[in-house]
């Protein structure tokens, strides 16, 4: 047996190696535990981290207490945050979406209201657009500082496809229905929809409900009044959505298409579809994936108005911004206050604009003219600035525990698995406290 006797040595060697590696790992990874003169900032890890890194570097130049930026791969950010938030491993400052995403943490007494951060944080609220700043308030107290860009939802379109079909960007719901009919006759999918992601479908509900019933309906629903879902306004919105779906506005295979993997943006860019209702990031997505289309043919307009609707036609739906919130357990509140002040510095605004984000500070406006895509940014800024209300996406306004049933209800209503009554029942079963 020629193959014997090799193993004892290799096993012994292996043990030695394991010990060595173990020790090396212990030596290498222990850095973050000490933390006497630093605070940790946990952010959603993605392409926008560039600015966050720059700001942290700027801060660390002048501060003796250093900020340490930890990034968590995006899709799993929430899972990670929830696991560590109430443990000694929790960060000092963390990224969030305002609204329902921080409400449980506030209720559990984990977060520090901004007005308790010390004198440096005084007057923070005057530096940001109020409709945005307010989305991170819980029970009247502010808990978050806007730290990226605002993302209103717009109705994007393919200019050439519309022109060829003789269609104008619709100003009213009836014009939209007429456009759908015309485009369909031309063999074009009227509206691209990434139904596989589920949240793009939700945007249609958010805008239509806002146009028909105004922002009060959701405000009441979030406060625990479940009867609003049975109201005449609610039923009207649902029947109009049904009408749109049944008219073939989205084609038939929208649930197999996703926005996140580039499916629905490609539909729009290739001219196979004419419209897409999407957050303002559609623009940068198209610039990266289809630069020719983005410069030549990508048009945008506000969501159509609905005749007889109670909602203000200037009202906006979308993601107000992302926020930094501070944990109560932090030992460096006054340094963090100084750090948060950087979120409305001129450098911050310029850096955000440079990567295509639209900050929501009051000093943003003076930098808009010199930014890339100035026209597009100005359009959005004015839209948000003038909006009487800015409805946060439902899946972020509600407690995050509701995201799955909410998305399912929306998808099932669109594909016909449930009817209006089923949808209403699903919305009523969401928890609000």
- The token duo for 99 is 């609204």
Find the binding residues for other proteins in span 232-271 (CB under 8 A). 251-263, 265-267, 269-270
If one asks whether residue 401 binds other proteins (CB under 8 A), the answer comes out as yes
Q: Segment near other proteins (CB under 8 A), from 79-87, 214-222, 340-348, 381-389?
A: 79-87
Instruction: List CB contacts of 12: < 8 A, sequence separation 6 or more.
Output: none
From candidates 47, 223, 314, 374, binder to other proteins by CB under 8 A: 47
Minimum CB separation of residue 29 from other proteins in Å reads 4
Q: What is the CA radius of gyration of the chain?
A: 25
For 105, 216, 225, 432, the CA distances from 108, given in Å and listed in that order, are 5, 27, 23, 15
Instruction: List CB contacts of 426: < 8 A, sequence separation 6 or more.
Output: 405, 406, 408, 409, 412, 418
From candidates 62, 87, 370, 433, binder to other proteins by CB under 8 A: 87
Query: Kind and range of the H or E element at 7?
Result: helix 7-29
Find the binding residues for other proteins in span 278-297 (CB under 8 A). 279, 281, 285, 288-292
Q: Segment near other proteins (CB under 8 A), from 87-95, 159-167, 175-183, 358-366?
A: 87-95
From candidates 37, 57, 82, 186, binder to other proteins by CB under 8 A: 82
- Report yes or no: 240 and 173 within 8 Å, Cβ to Cβ: yes
Report the 3 state secondary structure along 358-412. CCCECCCHHHHCCCCCHHHHHHHHHHHHHCCCEEECHHHHCCHHHHHHHHHHHHH
Name which of 18 and 369 has its Cβ closer to other proteins: 18
If one asks whether residue 63 binds other proteins (CB under 8 A), the answer comes out as no
Query: Kind and range of the H or E element at 318?
Result: strand 316-319
**Cα–Cα distance between 301 and 5 in angstroms, integer?**
76
Minimum CB separation of residue 400 from other proteins in Å reads 7
If one asks whether residue 135 binds other proteins (CB under 8 A), the answer comes out as no
- The token duo for 20 is 């060595």
Find the binding residues for other proteins in span 413-432 (CB under 8 A). 415, 417-418
Name which of 305 and 411 has its Cβ closer to other proteins: 411
From candidates 37, 83, 115, 225, binder to other proteins by CB under 8 A: 83
Minimum CB separation of residue 31 from other proteins in Å reads 6
């Amino acid at each position: 047996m020629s193959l014997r006797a090799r193993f004892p040595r290799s096993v012994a060697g292996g043990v030695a190696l394991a010990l060595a590696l173990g020790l090396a790992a212990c030596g290498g990874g222990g850095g973050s535990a000490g933390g006497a003169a630093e605070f940790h900032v946990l952010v959603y890890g993605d392409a926008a981290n560039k600015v966050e890194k720059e700001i942290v570097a700027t801060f660390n130049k002048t501060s003796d207490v250093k900020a340490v930026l930890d990034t968590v791969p995006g899709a799993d950010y929430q899972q990670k945050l929830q696991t560590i938030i109430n443990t000694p491993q929790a960060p000092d400052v963390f990224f969030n979406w305002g609204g329902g995403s921080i409400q449980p943490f506030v209720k559990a007494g984990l977060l520090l209201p901004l007005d308790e951060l010390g004198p440096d944080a005084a007057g923070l609220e005057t530096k940001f657009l109020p409709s945005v700043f307010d989305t991170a308030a819980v029970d009247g107290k502010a808990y978050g500082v806007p730290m990226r860009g605002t993302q209103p939802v717009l109705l994007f379109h393919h200019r050439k496809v519309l022109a060829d079909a003789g269609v104008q960007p619709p100003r009213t719901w009836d014009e939209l229905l007429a456009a759908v009919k015309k485009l369909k006759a031309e063999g074009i999918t009227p509206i691209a929809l990434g139904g596989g992601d589920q949240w793009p479908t939700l945007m249609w509900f958010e805008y239509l409900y806002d146009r028909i019933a105004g922002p009060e309906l959701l405000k009441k629903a979030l406060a625990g009044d479940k009867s609003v879902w049975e109201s005449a306004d609610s039923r009207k919105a649902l029947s109009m959505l049904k009408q749109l779906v049944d008219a073939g506005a989205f084609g038939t295979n929208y649930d197999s298409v996703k926005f996140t993997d580039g499916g629905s943006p490609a539909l729009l860019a290739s001219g196979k579809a004419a419209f897409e209702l999407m957050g303002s990031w559609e623009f940068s997505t198209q610039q990266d994936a289809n630069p020719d289309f983005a410069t030549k043919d990508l048009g945008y307009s506000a969501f159509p108005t609905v005749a007889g609707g109670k909602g203000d036609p200037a009202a906006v739906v979308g993601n107000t911004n992302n926020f930094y919130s501070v944990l109560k357990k932090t030992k460096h509140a006054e340094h963090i206050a100084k750090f948060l002040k950087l979120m409305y510095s001129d450098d911050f605004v310029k850096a955000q604009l440079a990567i295509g984000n639209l900050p929501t500070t009051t000093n943003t406006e003076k930098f808009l003219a010199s930014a890339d895509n100035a026209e597009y940014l100005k359009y959005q800024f004015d839209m948000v600035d003038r909006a009487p209300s800015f409805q946060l996406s439902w899946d972020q306004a509600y407690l995050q525990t509701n995201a799955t049933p909410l998305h399912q209800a929306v998808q099932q209503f669109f594909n016909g698995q449930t009817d209006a009554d089923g949808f209403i029942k699903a919305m009523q079963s969401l928890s609000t406290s």
